[in-house]
Each structure stands twice: as structure tokens, then as C-alpha cells.
Amino acid sequence: MTDEADRLVAAALRDHARIPAPPRLHAKLARRYLAPRRSWLLASVSALGGAAVAAALVLLLVRPHAPAIDPANEAVGDHLRMLIGRGLGVEVSDMHQVKPWFAGKLDFVPPITFLGDDDFPLAGGDVAVFLGHKAAELVYHRRMHVISLFVFQADVPAGERTVQGFHVVMWNHDGFGFALVSDVSFDDLHALYARLQ
Amino acid sequence: MPLFSLRGRRPPLAVVPDTPARQPTLAEAALEHIDALYSLAVHLTGNASDAEDLVQTTFARALAGAAHFQEGSNVRAWLFRILRNGFIDLARRKKIVLEIPDDTLDVRPVEGAALEQLRFITASEVARAIASLPVEHRLVVLLEVEGFSEAEIADIAHCAPGTVKSRLSRAKAKLRVALQESK
């Protein structure tokens, strides 16, 4: 049955080995290497001498084409980067040790009070960049699995997504955006979400 | 007398060729591969910061040396070759071990429950299993995932096709063992 095992491993690699680049890297390289794109509309307006209109359109149309940022992809990418070796800035099991660690590293206090429990022990935290914002990353464990919680000062499209086999739950509260990401089941993520409320 | 004269005939309507689509510039073609290059970079370096630097260096070298790129050749393979060379430079600076250890591998047939478990491999298990491989094994496996042939991998990795074959075989066996042990 080794052939079947090889086939399953090959399928797992095909489905899960790719780690997308963070959107900021896409944007940085596009800004550096892609010439601004002008539309035919801009050319027409300029020809008519509509300088004021053109100036306004320039702002909209002459910008380098930046790829759209998908928050769920960003969450999975950041989670994977932590898993494969970035590690955590602080590894502790007590939120009272994690929160002070963020002081001076973030310009906000992550509004999280769940200290972890037997089902979801807290592993630690780190500072990440999420959608261009500095974010607190809190890491919980669920059995042998790892769950990342990103907290940042921006809105995200609330809802649930599955990207590359990872489940992502996103919501907003009180001016903060939250993203939970892991390869545990949605039921487990919902259980952690309930504890975080 | 002919019923009509060819001289006065209207010529058939000229077929106006479609405006040819604009060919992407080398930079545009290259930037389509950011995700694939980053994925290899982050698996090789093991961290996001070095991976981003490596990808940026790759594009800087590629587009600065665009005159050396032969039109019609494979942009993707060319970029991966530059990234691999950039990684070797980085590995030398950071003293990353490139040699493949001459270890023995206990490969047993996978059957029954162990085989069933391989049907439920998660992304984090894959990431950890790849990280457990020597970097040259990671390189060949990930290039194969990207769809390169053994000959193309040999060209990118600067080794003989036979070496690629044996490295792939060994790397996959190690991956299978690592993924079984992760369960």
C-alpha cells in the first residue's frame, strides 16, 4: 500500500504546501516594478482639457494596480508563517504575562480577557502585521493543534471561510477586528470564539 | 461577351486583423509568480522576514539582469533559479547547513489505520514535515509541487537529473515518515 501512501502524501503537498505571500509584499513589488496604468477615459478627458476632472481622475486611475487583499488569506498566511518557524515573541501560559509583553510594542491594548483553559490553553503571543496594521497575535492550543487569534484596529468582513484547509472566523467588536485561524474544526473555533466574548 | 466585367468588381471586404493583444512586460510576467517564489523562500529560510528579503532580492536581480533573459525561454524557471542562487548566498552568510545528512531511514509499508490517517493530513502537519527535511530535499520536493519536470528541477538546483530523481525519492520517503509520526 506504499503507492497509495505516496499518492496521499503527494495530494497533501499539492493541497497544503503552498504558502501565499503577504499582501504587503505584492503591493511593494507592484509599486516598484509596474508602470502606472492609464485608462482610455483619462486620455480622453485630458485631450478635452478638463484639467480639474483629469486631476481628480489621476488620483483614481493612475495609481499602480495593487492586488486586492483577502483578509482570510492574510490570516492563513500569517498563521502558517508562525507555524513553520517564526515562533512566538513571548511563550507563556498566562494572559497576565502576555498582555504586559505587548506594552510598548502596540499602540493599543488587545481587548482579550480569556486566559486559556484546559480545552484551549494559552501558548503565548507575538506582534504581527495584519492588513497593514500592527496586530496582536495570541496563540492557543487545542489538543495537538495550534490556533492563532489576530486582533487589530481595522474592520474585517465578518464571517467564516476555509482557505487551504484552514478555517478562519472573523468578526468586529468595539472598533477592533478579530480573526481566528486554525486547522481545527469550525466547532472548536466556535467554542473558542464563545470564550472570547 | 461576358455578362459582367471583372474590372469593375468590388474587391472582397478586407479582413481587418484584430488588434494584437499587448504582450506583458517582463516585469508583469515575473510578478505573476510572487506567491510561488515566496512559498519556496519561506520553506527554505524558515521565516517570513528572510523569505520576503529573498523574494525582493530575486526580483531586483532578475529585472536588473533582464537583458540576459532570452525571449521565449521560461520566465518561471529563470526566476526560481535566481531565487535558489540567492538562497545559497543567504545560507552561506547565515551558516545554514546545506549538506544532506547521510542518515538511514526506516521506511515501512503503510497499511490499515496508519494509511487511513494519511487521508486527513492538515496544512500545519505538512508545514512541519517539510521543515523537518534538509533544505536540498525541501527544494526538489517544492519545485515538483510547483509543476517543474525533473530536468527543469535539475537546471534550477544545479545538479544532474539522476540526482534530482534520488533526492525526490528520498525526500518523499522522509515526508511520509514525518507525516505518519505527526499523527
What domains can you pick out in chain A, each with its CATH number? 2-61 (no CATH), 71-196 (3.30.200.100)
What pLDDT was estimated at residue B24? 75
CA-based nearest residue to B115, from B180, B41, B69: B180
Cβ contact A16–B122 (<8 Å): yes
pTM of the model: 0.61
Q: Which residues touch B164 (CB under 8 Å, ≥6 apart)?
A: B140, B150, B153, B154, B157
3 state DSSP class of A186: helix
A65-79, B87-101, B142-156: least confident range: A65-79
| CA–CA gap between residue A17 and residue A8 (Å, rounded) | 13
The mean pLDDT of chain A is 79
How do residues B99-140 score in pLDDT, each as one tens digit? 767 666 666 667 677 788 888 888 888 988 999 999 999 999
How high is the ipTM of this complex?
Answer: 0.80
Cα gap B81→A77, rounded to integer Å: 24
Rounded mean pLDDT, A16-37: 84
User: Per the CB < 8 Å rule, is B35 touching A30?
Assistant: no
A89 to chain B, any CB pair closer than 8 A? The answer is no
pLDDT surpasses 80 at B76: yes
CB contact under 8 A, A21 and B55: yes
Test B47 with A6 for CB contact under 8 angstroms.
Answer: no
CA distance B84 to B156: 7
Predicted confidence at residue B167, as pLDDT, reads 93
Percentage helix, strand, coil, to 5, in chain A? 40, 25, 35
Domains B26-94 and B112-181 share a fold: no
Is the model more confident about B40 or about A50?
B40
Name the residue with higher pLDDT: A41 or A123.
Answer: A123
Nearest CA in chain A to B29: A34
B26 contacts in A (CB within 8 Å)?
Answer: none
**Confidence category of residue B1, pLDDT binned at 50, 70, 90:** very low
Q: Tell me the nearest-neighbour CA distance from A183 into chain B, angstroms.
A: 7
**Confidence label for B58 from pLDDT (cuts 50, 70 and 90):** very high
CATH 1.10.600.10 for domain B26-94: no
Average pLDDT over residues B46-67: 89
Task: Tell me the C-alpha distance between B25 and A35, whole Å.
Answer: 10
pLDDT for residue A115 = 81
Which of B118, B168, B180 is most worth mutating to test chain A (most A CB atoms within 10 A of its CB)? B118
Residue in chain B nearest A12 by alpha carbon: B121
Judging contacts by C-beta atoms under 8 Å, the chain B residues touching residue A16 are 121-123, 126-127
Question: From B51, which residue of chain A is nearest by alpha-carbon distance?
Answer: A21
Bigger pLDDT: B180 vs B108: B180
Helices (H), chain A: 2-16, 23-33, 40-47, 51-61, 71-81, 95-102, 186-196
Label residue A70 exposed, middle or buried (CB < 10 Å: 0-12, 13-18, 19+).
middle
Q: Which residues in chain B are closer than 8 Å to A68, comparing Cβ atoms?
A: none
Chain A within 8 Å of B145 (Cβ-Cβ)?
yes
The pLDDT of residue B7 is 43
Is the Cβ pair B175, A8 closer than 8 Å? no
Average pLDDT for chain B: 82
| Residue numbers in B near A22 (CB within 8 A) | 38, 48, 52
**Rounded (10°) CA dihedral A125, A127, A129, A133:** 110
- Per-residue pLDDT averaged across B47-64, rounded? 91
Side-chain half-sphere exposure of B83, counting CA atoms within 13 A:
31
CATH topology of domain B112-181: Arc Repressor Mutant, subunit A (1.10.10)
Cross-chain residue pair B128–A83, CB shorter than 8 Å? yes
Residue spans of the domains in chain B: they are 26-94, 112-181
Residue with cell 486527513: B120
